[in-house]
Amino acid sequence: MTSPVTTCPVTIRIQDDDFDIAREIAVLTKSRTDIGAVVSFSGICRADEDSSKISALTLEHYPGMAEDEIKRHVDEAVSRWPLNGVTIIHRVGRFMPGQNIVLVLTASQHRKAAFEAAEFLMDYLKTSAPFWKKEESATGTGWVEAQARDDEAAARWTRS
Amino acid sequence: MKLKYFAWVRERIGMAEETIEPPATVRTVEELIAWLSGRGEAYAYAFEKPKVIRAAIDHAHVRPDAAIAGAREIAFFPPMTGG
């Protein structure tokens, strides 16, 4: 008789290389029978930003702080929801439209915690993890400006 | 202390990092920004809108009034746009 597994393995990677969502889910759920739900979010480089056509996107990060900041929010997510596993992979480098940028996987016994934790993590990734995007288009290159709507999305998780 | 710059702050200043010794009268992040702004045109351009600049001390986000005493690494960058 084995007791239920309640550990929460956490994987955080910042890498140039692409990721395989199916493989990452398989790694997260391997030999586990306590996971009832895995939510995956993947962020993909888009070809349009408002009215302009994007030809490429370059992502820069602050090595060390980026991992620390993601870990801090994963720890908070684990304290707020009954999670059984979290994987976050953020790519850096230069990307073409259609290529993967970020992956968030959250595993839990039930879907609600997995959905909420994935949203929480993405909202904080966008507003507090030190990554910056630079766009290339026919008119030149420019740094992407932070959006107020992303701050608003993150603010809804603030506990009073 | 070591200073690090990212994204357009790095491009405007023209370097990714440097080691500096600010005078003792520079006690906070905002005072450091003001002092750096007086070091030349590139710095003045990078910090022309100090309210837009975010700072981190030893990998943790800080407010402009944060004390810099004891900091090993202070980073300056624009608002984050990852994800």
pLDDT per position as a tens digit, A34-50: 999 999 999 999 998 76
Say if residue A73's pLDDT is above 70.
yes
For residue A149, how many C-alpha atoms fall within 13 Å in the half-sphere facing its CB? Answer: 0
Q: Quick one: closest CA in A to B59, which residue?
A: A65
CA distance B39 to chain A (A): 24
Residue B13 one-letter amino acid: I
**B-chain residues near A59 (CB < 8 A):** 82
- Alpha helix stretches (DSSP H) within B5-72: 7-13, 29-37, 41-46
Alpha helices per DSSP H over A41-99: 65-80
A118 in contact with B, Cβ within 8 Å: no
* In a domain? residue B49: yes
Q: Which residues of B touch A129 (CB under 8 A)?
A: 80, 82-83
> Which chain B residues are within 8 Å of A54, Cβ to Cβ?
none
What letter does residue A113 receive in the DSSP assignment? H
The predicted structure's pLDDT at residue B49: 94
The single-letter code of the amino acid at A120 is F
CATH number of residue B10's parent domain: 3.10.20.30
Using pLDDT thresholds of 50, 70 and 90, give the confidence band for residue A4.
Answer: low
- The chain B residue lying nearest A128, using CA atoms, is B80
The whole domain housing B16 covers: 2-77
Chain A residues inside the 8 Å CB shell of B74: none
Residues A8 and A94: their CA atoms lie apart, in Å, by: 32
Q: Quick check: is B82 in a domain? A: no
Which one, of A156, A154, A142, A157, lies nearest residue A52 by Cα?
Answer: A142
Residues 6+ apart with CB under 8 A from B36: B3, B43, B47
Burial level of A29, CB count in 10 A (0-12/13-18/19+)? middle
B24 located within any domain: yes
Residue A112 Cα, gap to closest chain B Cα (Å): 22
Mean pLDDT computed over B41-66: 96
Strands A83-91 and A37-44: unpaired
Q: Is residue B83 part of a domain?
A: no
In contact, B12 and B77? CB cutoff 8 Å: no
Q: What is the mean pLDDT of residues B72-81?
A: 97
Name the residue in chain A with its Cα closest to that of B11: A143
What are the tens digits of pLDDT across the range A6-17?
679 999 999 999
Q: Would B19 be classed as within a structural domain?
A: yes
How sure is the predictor about A160, in pLDDT bands with cuts at 50, 70 and 90?
Answer: low
Kind of pairing, strands A140-143 and A131-137? antiparallel
- Domains (range + CATH), chain A: 10-156 (3.90.1170.40)
Rounded to two decimals, what is the model's pTM? 0.92
- Selecting from B59, B61, B80 the residue whose C-beta is nearest the C-beta of A146 gives B80
Element (H, E) at A29: helix A21-29
**Lowest mean pLDDT across A5-19, B23-37, B49-63:** A5-19
Give strand pairing partners of A54: A137
As for the ipTM of the complex, it is: 0.94
The dihedrals phi and psi of B55, each to the nearest 5 degrees, come to -130, 150
Query: How many domains are there within chain B?
Result: 1
Contact A60 B4 (CB under 8 A): no
pLDDT digits (tens, 9 = 90+) for A80-136: 999 999 999 999 999 999 999 999 999 999 999 999 999 999 999 999 999 999 999
Which chain B residue shows the shortest CA-CA distance from A144? B81
Nearest to A102 by CA among A92, A115, A110: A92
- Residue B69: inside a domain: yes
